[in-house]
A and B are shown apart, each in its own frame.
Chain A
Amino acid sequence: MLSPAAAPSAAIEILSAQKTYPDGTHALQSVDLRVEEGEFVTLLGPSGCGKSTLLKMIAGLLEPSDGRLLRWRKPVSLTHPSSDHRLAFVFQSPTLMPWASVQSNVRLPLDLAGVAREQADARVTQALQMVGLAGFATALPRTLSGGMQMRVSIARALVTEPQLLLMDEPFGALDEITRHNLDAELLGLWAAQKLTVVFVTHSIHEAVFLSTRVVMMAARPGRVVEEVCIEEPYPRSADFMVSPQFSRYAKRLQDSLARASAATPGRSRP
């Protein structure tokens, strides 16, 4: 059990947060979780385990029915979801404005915040370089591949120079090869920008490859089953994915998920 007495380096503290919908569905049982600054934490689990719910609560898009959430020791509030510019969210789909160029899409958070055009454009150029899309500033989203659109979405997240990056199954709709490339690039950006990342996925392999820590979740009712630290140094290469340690981690997560599914308490519905 983690202590609620927070050290100054905690980026996120979740204290007995839970979510019950008005119809009685228990989307998420009480969760205690603490994410340190600079960590790469993955919420891993099958659909219905509440991982997206938890991420949306961290983002301030969803209010917990009970419990508290803190970001940098300040309560997350729904009315001012990101009262500081430390947070960026990447959705499962690229979520771009189809009528606007790549450049305008990436500039959106700066435009909304009222950053001067010249300064904003410089930061957009920089963000597009970071994701390898420097030559596509004037392209329209629909002319790009799914993987490239996702890069635009990541550039839009990075352009605000966030400290906390929340990603909701960002590469779930992409093919295996593209997904792996983007995973590797994401790790590069995470290290270079000193980001704290909370990443939602249903892929055990992706979770093991990326994370410093995997939070294993189970469904019906949604709950945290186990936390597993992946003690493998960065940078991680593709070789890691075929190593015995990798298989051990994957097996351990798989087993814990199987155990959790077998021992379903069945308290989700009245």
Chain B
Amino acid sequence: MTERAPALLSQPRVQRVVYPALVAAVLIGAWQALVIGMELPPYLVPSPWLMLKTLITDWATLGAALLVTLQITVLAFVVATVAGVLISFLFVQNKLIETALFPYAVLLQVTPIVAVAPLIIIWVKNPMAAMVVCASLVALFPIIANTTLGLRSIDPDLQSYFRMNRATRWQTLVRLRIPSALPYFFGGLRISSGLALIGAVVAEFVAGTGGTGAGLAYQILQAGFRLNIPRMFAALLLISLTGVALFAAMAWLTRRVLGPWHASENSHD
């Protein structure tokens, strides 16, 4: 037993699961102990156990809210990806276009979405669409920046080789530029998936009582007004889990597509 345990723990695969799980167990245990030991009232700090119970009892509300937030996030992510890729293709077609437009892409990135969101919510009638627009704006830039960089990051010798073999623009794009850009593009996707969620939460906060679409952020606001702190924590937990799930999904997708050939996918083993 004592001889086998170190062998199992020395595997990076096992370590990656076991060590964070240990940290989680210790933290949650300490939290529960502190809440009980110091007799903290639930309206200040609920125990993890109470949070879990709230999650189950309030599932009807929270589950529906989760669906709304997920919907905004996924829609925004898709919009940002499609728009970002199209803009990148535009950029690499012509250096002049990139030079002229890139500062505005940066401007879009550095302007805090919280500041722009009220305007978008006024302009776009449908609150759902308005929130998707807000979240897309947040998620857009990494896709543009990474994909543009990727489409330009071509082995110059390979490019010469294509030229020598009189490859058409289309052949060079499909056989050289796009495959070369994929690792960068997936890097952008990973960042943007998280940003889409952040954008969705921010948009919900700003939209406030959107009426129809009451997402997780809206639940947090409402729970805050009513001092229903356990529910607030439960909603927070759902948002975090959603972010982790998105990140994991992107990591999985990246491995699926690039796994066999790209070095970055094998560097941690």
Q: Enumerate chain A interface residues (CB-CB to B < 8 A).
A: 59-61, 80-83, 87, 89, 91-93, 95, 97-100, 108-109, 111-113, 140, 142
Contacts and interface: CB of A to CB of B under 8 A. Distances in A.
Interface stretch (B54-62, B118-126, B152-160, B248-256): B152-160
Contact of A109 (B155, B157, B165): B165
A97 B164 contact: no
B198 to A, nearest CB: 32
Nearest to B258: A99
Given A95-B155, A95-B158, A97-B179, A142 B261 contact: yes
A142 B165 CA distance: 24
A91 B162 CA distance: 13
Interface string B48-87: 0000000000000000000000000000000000000000
A112 B158 contact: no
B166 A60 contact: no
Contacts of B163: 61, 81
Which are the 6 A-B pairs with shortest beta-carbon distances? A95-B157, A91-B157, A112-B165, A99-B261, A99-B179, A81-B164
Given A93-B157, A95-B155, A99-B179, A140 B261 contact: yes
Interface of B: 155, 157-158, 160-167, 171, 175-176, 179, 182, 260-263
Contacts of B165: 82, 108-109, 112-113
23 contacts: A60-B164, A61-B160, A61-B163, A82-B164, A82-B166, A83-B166, A89-B160, A89-B161, A89-B164, A91-B160, A97-B158, A97-B179, A98-B261, A99-B179, A99-B261, A108-B175, A112-B162, A112-B166, A112-B167, A112-B171, A113-B165, A142-B261, A142-B263
B161 A95 contact: yes
Contacts of B171: 112
Contacts of A61: 160, 163-164
Contacts of A81: 163-164, 166
A203 B76 CA distance: 58
Contacts of B179: 97, 99-100
Nearest to B171: A112
Contact of A87 (B157, B164, B182): B164
* A60, A81, A108 interface centre (most CB from chain B within 10 Å): A108
A61 B162 CA distance: 11
Nearest to A89: B164
Given A61-B164, A97-B179, A140-B260, 7 more contacts: A82-B164, A89-B164, A92-B157, A95-B157, A99-B262, A111-B175, A113-B165
Nearest to A82: B164
B209 to A, nearest CB: 50
A140 B263 CA distance: 12
A111 to B, nearest CB: 8
A67 B165 CA distance: 24
Nearest to B172: A112
A89 B158 CA distance: 11
A61 B166 CA distance: 12
Contacts of B157: 91-93, 95
B106 to A, nearest CB: 31
* B157, B163, B164, B167 interface centre (most CB from chain A within 10 Å): B164
* B158, B165, B261, B263 interface centre (most CB from chain A within 10 Å): B165
Nearest to A110: B165
Contacts of A113: 165-166
Contacts of B176: 97
A140 B167 CA distance: 23
A81 B166 CA distance: 7
A82 B160 CA distance: 12
A98 B262 contact: yes
Nearest to B160: A61
B187 to A, nearest CB: 16
* B155, B161, B176 interface centre (most CB from chain A within 10 Å): B161
Contacts of A80: 166
A112 B170 CA distance: 11
B253 to A, nearest CB: 16
Contact of B161 (A91, A98, A111): A91
A121 B23 CA distance: 55
B34 to A, nearest CB: 51
Contacts of B161: 89, 91, 95, 108
